Chain A
Amino acid sequence: MHESWQQFWAMGGYAPYVWGSYAIAAIVIVGNIVTPVLVHRHIARRIKNEEYDD
């Protein structure tokens, strides 16, 4: 439990370690969400334009 917001962000002096870990986690998770959506959209568009039919 933290006494104030300031203390929360400071993480008892471990702020770079704690927030760094969570930032990397956020990047990894967002990457996992976005990549398949982009790949799927790309393939779907090419199917629609009949680009695989040669």
Chain B
Amino acid sequence: MLWLHRFGSLPYFYRVSRPIAIALAVPGVLLAAYGVYGGLVNAPVDYQQGDAFRILYIHVPSAWLSLFGYTSMAIAGVVALVWRLKLAEIFLVAAAPVGASFTFLALVTGAIWGKPMWGTWWVWDARLTSELILLFLYLGVIALHNAIESPRTAARACALLSVVGVINVPIIHYSVEWWNTLHQGPTVTRFGRPAMEMDMLWPLLCAALGFTLMFGWLTLWNMRAQLLWRERRSRWAKKVFSDA
């Protein structure tokens, strides 16, 4: 527990977050690049969709991150509300723009994919609509944070919205099973025989893991900036930059 206490100290976190971010960035970028290369170059052509299916390797990892990111914010939200941990507040505020941008990416690549396959950019089916609501939830957290002057009050409001909004995550996940959607059903998480060839599936898993590590990296990067802004008048922050 002493270790945890030390990690909660802001100057200590500021110092160690940089090497941790780099340790996430390097394997994250390599895995994502390997996955995308495998998907674009090595994977066989889909017998139904031709080469258009290769959008999958950017669409699915982005969509996965949109759910992973919001869930992590909700967990940080509980920690921030119950234990008033400053780092949890900073995490959820820092993760919001990263999550929002990948939600946007999932929606846009989905639309671009939908046009040649479904003949339309957009339909109001359950999967697409619930994912759009997720984007609005992310934007809500960002707007709330910008609207409230006191950083601690702002973070508590954001934490509350994150916790309440997380109900949307299982709705998105199960939307393709609960409702009749134009969006296809689950491929990766299906039980039994995988619905994809290994040459197709393997790069996708690499890309998804790579994107997840990159999410950690980018969120830590944002946390450092956010932390410095909050602590801009503190003695330790001044010391960091006067010695440098």
Chain A interface (Cβ < 8 Å from any Cβ of B): 1-2, 8, 11-14, 17-18, 20-22, 24-25, 28-29, 31-33, 35-37, 39-40, 43-44, 46-48, 50, 52-53
Contact of A18 among B41, B43, B54, B221 (CB under 8 A): B54
Are B45 and A17 in contact, with the CB atoms below 8 A?
no
* Binary flags per residue of B29-58, CB closer than 8 Å to A gives 1, else 0: 000000010001111110000111011001
Contacts of A24 in B (CB 8 A): 105, 108-109, 112
Are A33 and B218 in contact, with the CB atoms below 8 A?
yes
A48 to B98, alpha carbons, bound, how many Å? 28
Interface size class of B (residues with CB under 8 A): 35 or more
What are 27 contact pairs spanning A and B, CB under 8 A?
Answer: A1-B44, A2-B41, A11-B51, A13-B51, A14-B116, A17-B52, A17-B115, A17-B116, A18-B52, A18-B55, A20-B112, A21-B55, A21-B108, A22-B36, A22-B40, A24-B105, A25-B58, A25-B62, A36-B224, A40-B221, A40-B228, A43-B228, A46-B232, A48-B241, A48-B242, A52-B232, A53-B233
Contacts of A40 in B (CB 8 A): 221, 224-225, 228
Chain A's closest residue to B45 (CB) is: A12
Extra contacts besides A21-B55, A29-B214, A47-B237 (10): CB < 8 Å? A2-B41, A21-B59, A21-B113, A22-B58, A24-B112, A31-B101, A36-B218, A39-B229, A48-B241, A48-B244
Are B51 and A43 in contact, with the CB atoms below 8 A?
no
